[in-house]
Amino acid sequence: MVLFKVSRVETTPFDGQKPGTSGLRKKVKVFIQPNYLQNFVQSTFNALTAEKVRGATLVVSGDGRYYSKPAIQIIIKMAAANGVRRVWVGQNGLLSTPAVSAVIRERVGIDGSKATGAFILTASHNPGGPHEDFGIKYNMENGGPAPEGITDKIYENTKSIKEYLIADLPDVDISAIGVTNFGGPEGQFDVEVFDSASNFVKLMKSIFDFESIRKLLSCPKFTFCYDALHGVAGAYAKRIFVEELGAQESSLLNCVPKEDFGGGHPDPNLTYAKELVARMGLSKSSSQVEPPEFGAAADGDADRNMILGKRFFVTPSDSVAIIAANAVEAIPYFSAGLKGVARSMPTSAALDVVAKHLNLKFFEVPTGWKFFGNLMDAGLCSICGEESFGTGSDHIREKDGIWAVLAWLSILADKNKENLNGGKLVTVEDIVRNHWATYGRHYYTRYDYENVDASAAKELMAHLVKLQPSLGEVNEIVKGIRTDVSKVVHADEFEYKDPVDGSISRHQGIRYLFEDGSRLVFRLSGTGSEGATIRLYIEQYEKDSSKTGRDSQEGLAPLVEVALKLSKMQEFTGRSAPTVIT
């Protein structure tokens, strides 16, 4: 056994180590400054308190982006020095964010140990590579992101940190499965490298009926395609879709995880998942080849998902509503019924309508998955989702990109169980259109203005808040822009009181609510790493089933115009068009 010594290294604080919606995300060049990562890790240990860290079992892994490998070695050495008992690392440092959550909740070590928390190394859907982003976040014993109480403490600690602890361990080979033992001043310390996929695969098999999905995938009428955008989802896609469910290997696109995501932007949306979008017949560069019946993509750390049908896009707000409406019938895990459902505020109200029809508990929470975790821990919520391509359930405490795909495949398998051998296939598009016919349709779009000057973005938001107290004035302006939109009846900044712990979150997005149920929401992104990103969410409800089939950009055009002019978007930002439309 290798023995190690612990040293205390003097350090000084860095500005701006405040964790955002999902941890600390910065350019790699920021993270590689001497002591930068170390300060954040030690501040986290100090926030968790020395008593909790001593003897702990920590998971350390991530989406495999550039700088993950050196970061894992640094965290292992600091964990040893801080008295952590063991560190678990996914092979090659790879674990998707949902798999980390599953590992914390489900995995039992060879000596019967259970994990107490995790450092997840990811900047999610942000690009990777030496000139791009790196990120780190801490997840708690329930498998979910640290609550604000902890992240605030971490931030406070980063502002006053004077020293950190580090052990003089040799680097651990994280490419080989196995356990390495070390001995330190506080006793034994182990690093266990384990298979990245097996816990997650086992969990998925306990939730879904793999046999019925296998039948669907083996039916020649049903064609399938999955794009991991070179993120960590690739480490799971082959195991689950090909080995377990029998999909053809050629149905996997970009499923080899890469440190720079192949130079792409690993965000599963219509703009960045270009190759998949083309293959599904949804872009101008689409070939004449018949597109697959089903397509899906994941982001870098595999917690997000995009669901597509043949020449058809499923908006994430509809996706969660459709999963909730069909879960009990199609997914064994939910067969006893749903405890409740939840969505984030900017997500469309499609889920609300399902909850009402099915008489389910319903919650509207601020953006950020951690808010769902509290509801789930209290047994109040089974399925939840966000417009930002996140969907999931209480099987873990993170959103889950592969889970969402399996949920859709389960629904398709269920709707087609009678006609796999003969008869017409019920398609993704059929399922969505039938849903609209039953529940009405929430036309929805999101405009993103990325990397806008931060002070200009703040001024735009301040302008919108300032308008809110006088609805009379707001409606004058609206009428001056378009006469064919309804009246603003309420305007506020969204505020949330957590029903479980009573905590209050303020300033969670600026809302303009219209008489006919339409909504405009403005928010600043909490996940960017440079400048500011303004998000504008636009929604309109149509109950009349003869009017639910329009093109969404066309249907929303009047509201879009109102939103852009009311917010003076171009004036404040200098942008005449958004960076991304979803």
Residues of the shown chain interacting with ligand G6P in the complex, contacts defined by CB under 6 A? 21-22, 124, 344, 367-369, 386, 388, 390, 525-527, 535
234, interface contact from Zn ion, ligand G6P, none, CB < 5-8 Å by kind: none
Q: Tell me the C-alpha distance between 362 and 380, whole Å.
A: 9
305, interface contact from Zn ion, ligand G6P, none, CB < 5-8 Å by kind: none
527, interface contact from ligand G6P, Zn ion, none, CB < 5-8 Å by kind: ligand G6P
Report residue 449: phi and psi, to 5°: -115, 100
CB of 97 to Zn ion, least distance (A): 6
299, interface contact from Zn ion, ligand G6P, none, CB < 5-8 Å by kind: Zn ion
Q: Record the tokens describing residue 480, joined without a space.
A: 């001056």
Taking CA atoms, 359 is separated from 338, 383, 502, 529, in Å, by 10, 14, 24, 41
Contact positions toward Zn ion, by CB under 5 A?
124, 299, 301, 303-304
In the complex with Zn ion, the residue whose CB is nearer, 132 or 301, is: 301
* Annotation says 505 is catalytic: no
CB of 288 to ligand G6P, least distance (A): 36
In the complex with Zn ion, the residue whose CB is nearer, 299 or 318, is: 299
Taking CA atoms, 551 is separated from 81, 228, 309, in Å, by 58, 28, 16
526, interface contact from ligand G6P, Zn ion, none, CB < 5-8 Å by kind: ligand G6P
Question: Is 384:342 a contact under the CB 8 Å cutoff?
Answer: yes
Question: Is 426:409 a contact under the CB 8 Å cutoff?
Answer: no
CB of 525 to ligand G6P, least distance (A): 3
In the complex with ligand G6P, the residue whose CB is nearer, 21 or 91, is: 21
Q: Which of 60, 87, 80, 58 is nearest to 7 (CA)?
A: 80
Please name the residue ranges forming H helices in 347-470. 350-358, 370-377, 401-415, 428-439, 454-467
Question: Is 38:164 a contact under the CB 8 Å cutoff?
Answer: yes
CB of 373 to Zn ion, least distance (A): 15
CB of 20 to ligand G6P, least distance (A): 7
Going through 4-63 in order, the beta strands assigned E by DSSP cover 6-10, 24-27, 57-62
From the candidates 22, 43, 61, 124, which is the catalytic residue? Answer: 124
Taking CA atoms, 67 is separated from 64, 131, 260, 400, in Å, by 8, 11, 10, 24
Q: Tell me the C-alpha distance between 418 and 208, whole Å.
A: 19
In the complex with ligand G6P, the residue whose CB is nearer, 56 or 95, is: 95
For the annotated catalytic residues, the residue numbers are 124
